[in-house]
Amino acid sequence: MTRRVLITGCSSGIGLALAHRLAADGWQVLATVRDARQAPILPAGVEVLLLDLADSASIAALAARIDSLDALIDNAGYGLVGPFSSFSLAQMQEQMQVNFLGPAQLTQALLPALRRRGGRIVVLSSMAGETGLPFNALYCASKFALEGWAESLAHELPAQGVQIALVEPGGHRTRFGANLRWGEGLHALHDAEEQQLRGYRAMLARRLAQPGKSESAVVDAVVRLLASTRMPLRTRIGGDAKALHWIKRLLPEAWAQRLLQAQTQRMLQPAAGDDAVAS
């Protein structure tokens, strides 16, 4: 029987690359996009479905169309960035809805379909699901939420014949950076936040000017998980994700916190000439 996988967020980045790879590997791929005009970028044979994770009716309508699944890849998501004080309540709610509550609702609705085939759930978390990062307070909160949720399900689901795994990439060059949404309140910041914002924008600009890692390592890791007999709960991808993990794992908590804060203070400190870099 051909294996069926549903992948969310296939208009770009990791989701799009996974749809190509799994279709080439012989999977029947159901790929979600928010806008039907994005369908042509997906390979022939892939079934394109509409899904907006911000809209629970859209999630319920999609799930109602699927009766059996070998794998669900909860991939779609975006980053909300900026000083915490700049986020509106609506922005905070949408970040939690799209990155956490939407995937939770979708997964819950698809459990019967997954149970029918002894299915697997792969959740795209992030190194930001294990470590808090400045100017990413709500993004980190949404990924920490995914981590606690999936870790809990890892206790419940195996008895139902379903496995779940978290994938935690570090930085990879997809459309994620271009799709970042900024806090709406950037015009009314405290002086210290203004300064940190200059440093942060300059750091992002410097990072974008360097060659980035493609998403291929993430795709390979997901393919390996789908092929493994028993999926490990967490897979970290990239030197940055692994380094953060080991710093927190090996050092006493207070030392790790001091080390990480020293690094992030440097990151948020504008250097001479940064305004030119960031503009």
Q: How far apart are CA 61 and CA 199, in angstroms?
A: 44
Q: Which of 65, 175, 258, 266 binds ligand NAP (CB under 6 A)?
A: 175
Given the rule CB under 6 A, which of 70-78, 82-90, 245-253, 258-266 is the region that contacts ligand NAP?
70-78
The active-site residue out of 139, 144, 176, 200 is 139
Q: Which of 46, 48, 76, 80 binds ligand NAP (CB under 6 A)?
A: 76
CB 21 within 8 A of CB 219: yes
Nearest to 34 by CA among 60, 61, 11, 7: 11
Q: Which residues, 83 to 142, sit near ligand NAP by CB under 6 A?
A: 98, 124, 126
**Minimum separation from the CB atom of position 99 to ligand NAP (A):** 6
**Minimum separation from the CB atom of position 187 to ligand NAP (A):** 25
x/- string (CB under 6 A) for ligand NAP, residues 141-160? Answer: --------------------
**Minimum separation from the CB atom of position 255 to ligand NAP (A):** 25
Q: What is the DSSP string of 113-173?
A: HHHHTT-EEEEE--GGGTS--TT-HHHHHHHHHHHHHHHHHHHHGGGGT-EEEEEEE----
- In the residue annotation, 78 being an active-site residue is answered as no
Q: Which helix or strand (DSSP H or E) is residue 126 part of?
A: none
Closer residue to ligand NAP, CB minimum distance, 49 or 154? 49
Q: Which of 39, 41, 54, 243 binds ligand NAP (CB under 6 A)?
A: 54
Q: Which residues, 2 to 21, sit near ligand NAP by CB under 6 A?
A: 8-15
CB 64 within 8 A of CB 106: no
Q: How far apart are CA 10 and CA 174, in angstroms?
A: 12
Q: Which helix or strand (DSSP H or E) is residue 31 part of?
A: strand 28-33
Report the chain's C-alpha Rg in angstroms: 19
CB 60 within 8 A of CB 109: yes
Closer residue to ligand NAP, CB minimum distance, 131 or 174? 174
Q: How far apart are CA 103 and CA 100, in angstroms?
A: 6
Q: Which residues, 23 to 42, sit near ligand NAP by CB under 6 A?
A: 34-35
Given the rule CB under 6 A, which of 22-30, 114-122, 164-172, 190-198 is the region that contacts ligand NAP?
164-172
Q: How far apart are CA 99 and CA 136, in angstroms?
A: 13
Closer residue to ligand NAP, CB minimum distance, 189 or 267? 267
Q: Could you give the angle at which helices 137-156 and 89-96 cross, rounded to 10 degrees?
A: 30
Give the binding site for ligand NAP (CB under 6 A).
Answer: 8-15, 34-35, 51-54, 75-78, 98, 124, 126, 169, 171-172, 174-176, 179
Residues catalogued as catalytic? 139
